[in-house]
Structure 1
Amino acid sequence: MTSRLPFGPDDLPARVLHRDGEMLVIDKPAGVPVHAGPKGGANLEAMFETLRFGLPRNPALAHRLDKDTSGCLVLGRHRKALAKLGKLFSQGRVDKTYWAVTRGAPSNDAGLIDAPLAKRSPTRGWWMAVDPAGLPSSTEWRVLARGAGLAFVQFRPLTGRTHQIRVHAAHVGMPLLGDPIYGAEAAGGAVLHLHARSLTIPISNNRPSVEVSAPLPPHMAATFTAMGWDETIPLEPMGAITI
């Protein structure tokens, strides 16, 4: 099941970023689908047995990330927790921050993309497009750095539509580096540069929200280094850093 991936079940426990009695947050590697598609194949969900940590059942996905997206992925450890997490995600109460590299960027340093999204094809449910008749969709963005014709952009999706960041970024003229569907990436070109950097999850009414962040995957770290960005320099909370 996993022989076709450069990643196996025994590698998964080391990628746990957070663990408590209700949930796990793992650092999903890029290039690994979270579950089997219509045609089957190797996937992350098939490896969850190594994440039981003493519980009788495997954890389960509380949400989804695209195959080529890396970073924070939340799993519920039992049915009650999974139902709670599903409600938090559906109500938009989980704060999500993504890091991406885009080809070009608007002259402004920050903004809000408010563009409804709908399925572009009735037979390909994941293929989305901006459509005035679609579902309300909003994404905040902020340029953190620029260099070499690229931009390092932080995205905060306020809604949770399929491929929302990828479609919205392309819609305003800053397609994601490595996106062959909504961008103009040639086959065999750069790997998608989209990373689920951090989550804030209000899992308990009696304790502070759980805050988790995932380190950059190697391909994105290499691009940032080539752009001249020093990962050891903390990012400013507002405005942009110009390289």
Structure 2
Amino acid sequence: MRLPFLQTQDPSLLWVEGHRIQAGAHQRPLSGLPTEDQLAQALAALPAGPTRWVVDDLWVPSVLLRDLPELPRGAEAQEAFFRWRFGQTLALEEPHAVQSILVESGTWLAAGIREDLRETWIQLSLRLDRGMRALTPRWLHLYNQLAPGFDLPGMLLSLSPAGGDRYAGTLVAWGRTLCLVRQWSEPLSPDGWNEERIAPSAAFLQREARTPQQMLVWGARTWPEGTVPVRCLDDRAPAGEVR
């Protein structure tokens, strides 16, 4: 099931990860959040008009909120409720702007970005006549590109390199639809990921009758085999189709 989360058909895509930024033919390395000058240079490489941003997972944390059969009435009340549940679930101290979408009955996907960071990016894009039409975490962009081919339960790793063959990032899994989202800012080696994060997640999914049949990996060229068969995705052209 594809999740139409902040989606748009606008082809002007800005791809921003902690280690690189790409817009059209413009690409340069980064070492963390981009400066306004770095963003301005990248946006200038795109056509004027609306832009779509795909950004590092760790800047837009995501969580599945379960057991929500009823919500407060009214759009403002629901927005406040999701913002509260999101901050409470992730123990966040800074205020976040939160977007949510229904995944299945009683379960919602919520993703948020620091309000100050979101406002800075929106204002910068507007000043350059490249207003932000959508802002999507990298894992969800990958999931939505791959989702039409999901016939069997599986897992996806969306990784951010941290140097020394270590990675932070996101693990998501699906059965009939998205059923697990877990994120770690602490980097681990691939063997550490397999032992401490992937194997326990696969065991949980097996108990839920959603045993993953394959694990797709974005952000690492190779990955050691573990409890789930592995296929590494080509991450050399982030603005193109995922293969």
Task: Identify whether the pair has TM-score above 0.5, normalized to the shorter chain.
Answer: no
Whichever structure has more helix as a proportion of its residues is 2
TM-score by length of 1: 0.31
